[in-house]
Structure 1
């Protein structure tokens, strides 16, 4: 059967359970203090009393409050000299199992004292799941620390629920970044003051890059120090010459030598005859005569070779030189800047400044 919860029906039909489910849907299923009244502000009146101001809370959908301009007193038992202790101020929800009647009250749960210098434990709370039928649950408000006889600290234990407008301040506090594919200024969506960031990527900060700093370049020209170490080598190779001929133009040769070669010959003759068995007779000046030939033989030589036609060698085939050693190439490249951009999707980026 469908029920109209908030409409007029002519009779009572809205239950506490209906209201609790509605609050759970709006506020969440946990435990929250709303931003109303004094938000349960605590004021230490003495070593035995703390005043809790007005406020509203939601505990698993149950709405509990201390009315505006009203207060509640939380009584703290005396501390002990030389001891330390932690108490808890809480609001306890209860449901009578037989009647179903629900109630809430401010309570103080007392902890166990330990010697000064030790860390006391917080007292145990009642923790029930009201959605599953539990009938008791504690909502802690404050932890109260006592040293010796005095209250030395009152620590808040609850979470403040933001208003709908204040929720945007939690999601996007000052300094937050907002990104979108549409051009709407986030000030129109969430309030506050925003500045648009253009032409920059986001970098997660680390020890070398503090949050808020900028840097980098869209285009980069590599320096010599940035180019990877390398070399260019030409391996052993040969050079091939195409088929070709050699030509000698028409020409002649002539040569001559000077006149020379004139000479004569002299012959000595001994007139004495040898006697007996002697082969030669003794030479005497008076017996010697000399006869010579007439000088002659002077001459010269001249040679002339007539000019011939053009001489052409036969065409030679291709030829290869011997294998050479390694060579170094000359410089190349234009030294221009190159894009330093990874694949990207351009979006609108805003930073909240106020």
Structure 2
């Protein structure tokens, strides 16, 4: 401040406020200059909020209405998270990714399912055959050592005779022993799953993002 002494400034009355058209004294490169409050504020604003600057808001404020004279746009891609651009900035404002994915067979490690089962132990005990009622059987008889041999009491003349009639045995059944046992079962399970998408969204809090365009 070549032409204005500090004592002169301190002797002036303090201003209670400032209007946009009020003049201020500045020194540029050793030269005294005057500047309005509006011009000074605009210069300070542009230094603080250059074009491309991003600002976050926790409410619905529109910066175009509070910072008149500058132009702001919403960050594109509602609901997306922020990811850093590359060093050259060539991919700034590009978007991608998803909040969910569908796992395909090729995403799973190679694996198999082994099934090795044994049925419950069960004892059938002794089982009776069905009752066929009273009946007789026919058969051949033969002579052995000069005497007549019969089958089941059947009678016949000396010599070979076929279709001799045996005595009736009466109503009866036969028993069959099965015993306790089990069965082993081996095989593969059926296909499972429905192919629904998996939600991979991280926990988040939402803010309104704006960036200056002009």
Structure 2: distance between partners of 1:231 and 1:349: 46
Q: Residue 250 of structure 1: which of 118, 131, 138 is its match? A: 131
Cα 1:66–1:261 change in 2 (3 A) is: closer
**Correspondence 1:141-156 to 2 at 5 A:** none
When the two structures are superposed, what TM-score results if normalisation uses the length of structure 1?
0.39
Q: Which runs of 5+ in 2 are unaligned?
A: 1-5, 15-23, 144-156
Q: Residue 169 of structure 2: which of 295, 300, 305 is its match? A: 305
For residue 210 of structure 1, report the CA deviation from its aligned partner. Answer: 1.6
Q: Which runs of 5+ in 1 are unaligned?
A: 1-13, 23-35, 38-54, 59-63, 69-161, 263-294
Q: Does the 8 A contact of 1:232 with 1:329 survive in 2?
A: no
Residue 213 of structure 1: aligned partner: 94
Structure 2: distance between partners of 1:235 and 1:17: 95
Residue 65 of structure 1: aligned partner: 31
Aligned residues: 174
Deviations 1:107-160 (A, max 9, x none): xxxxxxxxxxxxxxxxxxxxxxxxxxxxxxxxxxxxxxxxxxxxxxxxxxxxxx
* Structure having the higher Rg: 1
Q: CA RMSD in A?
A: 4.2
Cα 1:169–1:254 change in 2 (3 A) is: farther
Residue 194 of structure 1: aligned partner: 72
Q: Which has the higher contact order (CA 8 A, sep 6+)?
A: 2
Deviations 1:184-224 (A, max 9, x none): 01222333222323221111013798212111112211222
Q: Residue 223 of structure 1: which of 90, 97, 104 is its match? A: 104
Q: Does the 8 A contact of 2:115 with 2:188 survive in 1?
A: no
Structure 2: distance between partners of 1:209 and 1:221: 30
Structure 2: distance between partners of 1:243 and 1:209: 79
Structure 1: distance between partners of 2:128 and 2:9: 120
Cα 1:330–1:172 change in 2 (3 A) is: farther
